[in-house]
Each structure stands twice: as structure tokens, then as C-alpha cells.
Amino acid sequence: MEGPRVAVIGATGAVGEVFLRIVEERSFPFSQLRLCATERSAGKMLTVRGKEYTVETTTPELFDNVDIAFISATTEASKHYGPIAAERGALVIDDSSAFRMNPQVPLVVPEVNGDDLEHHRGIVAIPNCSTTPLVMVLKPLSETNPIRRVIADTYQSVSGTGSAAVAELREQVGQVLNNEPIRSSVYPNQIAFNVFPHIDSFQENGYTKEEMKMVQETRKILHLPELPVSATCVRVPVNISHSEAVHIEFERPIEPATVREILSKCPGVKVLDDPATDVYPMPIKAEGTDDVLVGRIRKDLSHPNGIALWLSCDNLRKGAALNAIQIAEEVLRRKLLPRQGKVMAWQS
Amino acid sequence: MEGPRVAVIGATGAVGEVFLRIVEERSFPFSQLRLCATERSAGKMLTVRGKEYTVETTTPELFDNVDIAFISATTEASKHYGPIAAERGALVIDDSSAFRMNPQVPLVVPEVNGDDLEHHRGIVAIPNCSTTPLVMVLKPLSETNPIRRVIADTYQSVSGTGSAAVAELREQVGQVLNNEPIRSSVYPNQIAFNVFPHIDSFQENGYTKEEMKMVQETRKILHLPELPVSATCVRVPVNISHSEAVHIEFERPIEPATVREILSKCPGVKVLDDPATDVYPMPIKAEGTDDVLVGRIRKDLSHPNGIALWLSCDNLRKGAALNAIQIAEEVLRRKLLPRQGKVMAWQS
């Protein structure tokens, strides 16, 4: 069989499961596939393209015979195995926040900054699931009319936290319906029939890490290190797909029709914008689809150069697994595997 | 018994029920109480302060012997009965959008612009449930540092639509848990495990009426007819309480500590802002309480004079019924009942 030798670290998690489905959908090529997880899941059987694989625990030696290692587990797992895998010659495509702001590490959405892959040193990071759809919209617009300021308020699904959070929402909803006491273990608060502005931990400046990821990652991906960005990240009782209310200030005035026209030509973006027939993005429409859905495109009434819009995006697909696979496809197309000798070595 | 003769039009609705509870809590004075609804609910018995009342249908003659008529039914009911009640000498306190932008009609949040009541002509409007908490926060801050721009993205509960929507959410959640087909009749989309940026109908400019209410009502209440305001109004699967992510630009820089200090002194506002111990507003915390809960107060990183914050408010209480009763209390305190002869007559 043709193709790279692939390992998936975190194969049994929420993103890992979607990852394997997308590998099948896109016929991603591989000559060998290793599925890894923690000891708790080791021994489990998973089927990919009709073939059964036994889930194994991750070992450093594994990476000696791996060309591409996808890591979507905990940040600690990424911090531990990322450098090990890179030093042993694998290309690491990492879904955690461990390396995103590291200057050695390209942070990549292929449609936006695929060229940044040329400078990788064995580790490539994929952005946070709330950053990816935002930059997919900002980048093509910024090429027509420079962006001066961005405000994004999010509506993020529980699958962004992982499978345990999806189970917790389902259990709590049942508890509410049956008038039983609400039990929260994944989240600090009840999520059923509630929302809260708390994703990841709080920082000194009053922002959460999740909000600061949106600020810093957006700047890095767009190569606009000073871009003013602000975000409020909110968890909502939705299973899959993140949504965002976005307010963009441009250098010059821009018409909603122009925004619609630009975005409708972008690969990976789908404009769903016909309020007259109740057509706009929603989580249940984005779930299971590859595109960033964009709608409610209108003048921002609070600024002469402003545009307001609304987007929804499957956080497990384009927000995570799909973007990781697209990075791998781009690396293969550009012949940038570390074992092909074009890249500099990883330095911890 | 001392006090005005009161009629409640829409006594069996979501707001009406809360209204009667608040009348009891606050010992609102009345010498007579008439509870009105549509024919479907007529004949129903409701208990207020231990006394049983029979729900009756609304008639024009009713208002001849009523001093204060609270209307919280449909906009059509308000348009029909509002002028009739005012012409027959009652003070109408109206919860619909029918009269809010009418220059004859004060649009009042007592803590913010109670003085506007002095100019009423028989009809006073209460703001939309997403506007009220916003102006409660903006007004005291604007007195220290003029406000230049406001962006608010909302997370609005289904009780804002009414009791039928609360029932629909509950039914749909059960349908999802049981893998049954989802039935939507109140909303154009599934609301269980979903969110959508569609509250009230769409306008020519791409905004919903709900969003334009926030823009126009905020300007009217603050007496700032040119204030730049933009909003995205989003329905979320929460039963009670609306939340808002708010971004405010001031004339001059302002510290989060100053904002916290100002707001903590405002009647009707409660600062819940200690991220270190997971203290911030949420719908389940606001439900059943009278205060606008405000937290996540921080610099808006996208503007040197900006503040970002997050609020939650019980949309049935301060967002509707409580505000209506507070208006009545203020009218009584100022002796502004139409039958007391100080106000000009209503002109349709």
C-alpha cells in the first residue's frame, strides 16, 4: 500500500473518532495505521476501512516507524509525546494548545496560511476550534479590505470539551426532566438549560485561556501580530458545532453584498444567508459538514466600516479532525515530511 | 382597601403569572384586581394573596373602573386595548413593542429614566427584555464616562417567547433523548440542543426586529438618539433568563475596577465577578432574582477605551413583570395616575 505510516494518539476520543471517519471519507492514504490511547482504552478494537485495529498504548519507540503522528488527547500528552515524536522523525500534527504559540511551530489552516507549513520543524499545530472558522472568514475579506478590529462572541458546544461532556449534558437534561438533583463533574456548573462564560481557565487579565487563544491565534495565523481582537467564549447546551457572532471593522466601508460574494467563492466556506426564508447557519446544520457556514451578513450599525455576521462550524471536523487531515494532505502535496529531509530538526 | 384599581391583561401568560407572584412579594397595593385573558383562559381561577379571582375576557368597559392596566399579551392586543384603556382614564403599562418608539410614550426603566414618566399621556411602555438589563448597566457608566459605541450579542431564553416555547423546548429535549422525530411549531427551527440567530422577524437591513429594538430602545431610554449600537440576538435552549456579551467603548479609558465599583453601588444591579472562584452571571443564577447580574468585567482588548462584560437577567422579572410593577410604584409615588389630573390625554 502507498502512503505515509500514520499514528493517531487519542484515537478513542471525541476528535479521534471523527478523525477516523474523515480518513475513510477522504480516502486519506496510509501504508500503516497505529491507533493509540491511554491504558484505559488499550485493547479496544476499532474498524477503519473495513479492517480491525487494536488500540495500543503510546510508546516513544512507536514514532521510529511513523511518518505522521496526529495527537488529539490532553495538552499534557501533547507536551510529552510531541517533541519525542518529532525528534524520532515523525511529523506531529497537534490538536492541543501546547505548541500553538511556539515560534518554531506553524499554526495552520490550509486555506488560510498553508504556506507556513514550509517552515515546520517536525511539529505543526492546528488552531483552537473557535479560531479556525473565524480566520476562514477573516482572511479572504482582509485581502480586499484590511481588517482593523474584530469582536467575536461564541456559542460553543460541549463536544469541544470531549465525550464526557456530551454524556454529562445528556445526563443532566434527563435529571432536569425527571426533577432529579443535577450532578456536574466535567463542568463547574450545570450546562443543561444553562450557558456560562467560562471555557478553559481564567487568566490574570480577566480573560479565559480560550478567549486569549482566539486573540493570539488569530493574530498569528493572519500574520497580523497587532490586530485588535476581543472575544467572549461561552459554553451552550449544544452537542456539536460552535457558533460565533462576529463584528468586523475594516479600513474602508464594505457592502454586505461584497462580503457575500467574496465568501461564496472561498473553498471551505458556505454562505447560508437568506433571512427571508429562514436560512442562516445553526449548529444542527453545521454538524457533520465540512464547511464553515456563514450568514446574517449585514452592516454593523455601530461603525461606518463595520460588518456583522454569524457563523457555525462543526468543531470536531473543520474545528479539529478535518483541519488536521487537510494539513497532512498539504504536507504530502508539498513533500514536507521530515523523513524527506527538507525540514530542520525539532529543538526542545 | 387602599390603592389603585388594577387590571392585568394577559394574566395567564408567562409574564402574567410572574407578575402576580411579584405583586404578592412586594405587597403592591390595590383596592381591586381584575385578571383578564383571551376566551380560551376565561373562567380559570387564579389565587392572589390568598383570594381567588376568576379570569375574565377583556372588554372596553372594564377600563372605566381601572386605574392601572398592565398589558402583557400579544402586540395586537396592546395595539387594540392600549388606546381604549388610556382614553377611558386608565394608566396603561404595556409590555409589547406596540408603543415603545411612539414619541407620546415614555419607555421606562425606573432606575434609569424614571423622570420620563412625568410626560406620559396614559400609556407607558416597558422595554424589550434584552434592552432593560443593558441600559441598567450602560446608564450609570455613561454618567462617569460618556459611551461612544455598544455591541451586544445575546443568549436569550425561550420563556421570552412565552409558555408554549418553554413547553416546546421540554418536548423536543425528550424527543432527542428518545430518538423520536423533532416537532417544531412555536419556532421555525429545532431549539433543543441548538441555537439560532433569529428572534422576531427580519427587517430590510438584515437585522431582526429584536435586534433593532435593542438599538432603538437603548437610544431612546438613554436619551442618546445617535448612539452607535449593534446587536446579534440569539435564541438558546435555556428556560428563563437572558444573557448578553457586551462590548462598550467609552470616551476615555476606564478601568475594570472603576466599572465594578460604579455598578456595585447601583440599585437593581449585582456584581458577580470573581473568576478565581468561578463566580460570574449565568441564567440559572439569575432566574427568580430581581437584579441584573454583571460579571466578567475586563478591558476590551480590541479598543483602548473599551470594556467587555457579561450579564444575565431574569427576562420575566426585571425584563418584564418586575419592571412593569416598579413603573407602577414610581407612578404612585409621583402621583401621576391619569385620574389624578396631572397628565395630558392620550391621542391616537
pLDDT tens for each residue of A132-177: 999 999 999 999 999 999 999 999 999 999 999 999 999 999 999 9
Residue A187 forms contact with B (CB below 8 Å): no
Which amino acid is residue B333, in one-letter code?
A: R
Chain B residues touching A280 at Cβ < 8 A:
196-198
The reply to whether residue A278 touches residue B238, judged by beta carbons under 8 angstroms, is: no
Residue B348 has pLDDT above 80, yes or no: no
For residue B141, count other CB atoms closer than 10 A to its CB.
20
The pTM for the full model equals 0.96
Give the model's pLDDT for residue B2.
Answer: 85
pLDDT mean over B79-106: 96
Structure confidence by residue, pLDDT tens digits, B16-70: 999 999 999 999 999 999 999 999 999 999 999 999 999 999 999 999 999 999 9
- Residue of A36, A120, A233, A242 marked catalytic: A242
Residue A27 has pLDDT above 70, yes or no: yes
Residue B134 has pLDDT above 80, yes or no: yes
**Cβ within 8 Å of B, A 203-232:** 205-208, 215, 228-230, 232
Structure confidence by residue, pLDDT tens digits, A311-322: 999 999 999 999
d(CA A205, CA A197): 15
d(CA A215, CA A130): 10
pLDDT mean over A241-253: 98
Give the model's pLDDT for residue B248.
Answer: 98
d(CA A194, CA A183): 14
CA neighbor of B62 nearest in space, from B40, B84, B47: B84
Structure confidence by residue, pLDDT tens digits, A169-220: 999 999 999 999 999 999 999 999 999 999 999 999 999 999 999 999 999 9
Q: Name the residue facing B194 among A278, A284, A306 (closest C-beta).
A: A284
Residue B1 has pLDDT above 80, yes or no: no
Residue A170 forms contact with B (CB below 8 Å): yes
Residue B313 has pLDDT above 90, yes or no: yes
Q: Which domains does chain A have, with CATH numbers?
A: 5-127+320-340 (3.40.50.720), 131-315 (3.30.360.10)
Give the model's pLDDT for residue B31.
Answer: 97
- Do residues B18 and B241 lie in contact, with contact meaning Cβ atoms separated by under 8 Å? no
Contacting residues for B333 by C-beta, under 8 A, at least 6 apart: none
Give the model's pLDDT for residue A1.
Answer: 67
pLDDT mean over A264-279: 97
Q: What cell numbers appear for B153 in the block?
A: 450579542
d(CA B201, CA A126): 38
Residue A348 has pLDDT above 80, yes or no: no
- Do residues A45 and A54 lie in contact, with contact meaning Cβ atoms separated by under 8 Å? yes
- Catalytic residue list contains B120: no
pLDDT mean over B262-277: 97
Q: Average pLDDT over chain B, rounded to whole? A: 96
Give the model's pLDDT for residue A275.
Answer: 93
Give the model's pLDDT for residue A102.
Answer: 97
Residue B305 forms contact with A (CB below 8 Å): no
Q: Name the residue facing B243 among A195, A229, A300 (closest C-beta).
A: A195
Residue B164 forms contact with A (CB below 8 Å): no
Residue B330 forms contact with A (CB below 8 Å): no
- Catalytic residue list contains B242: yes
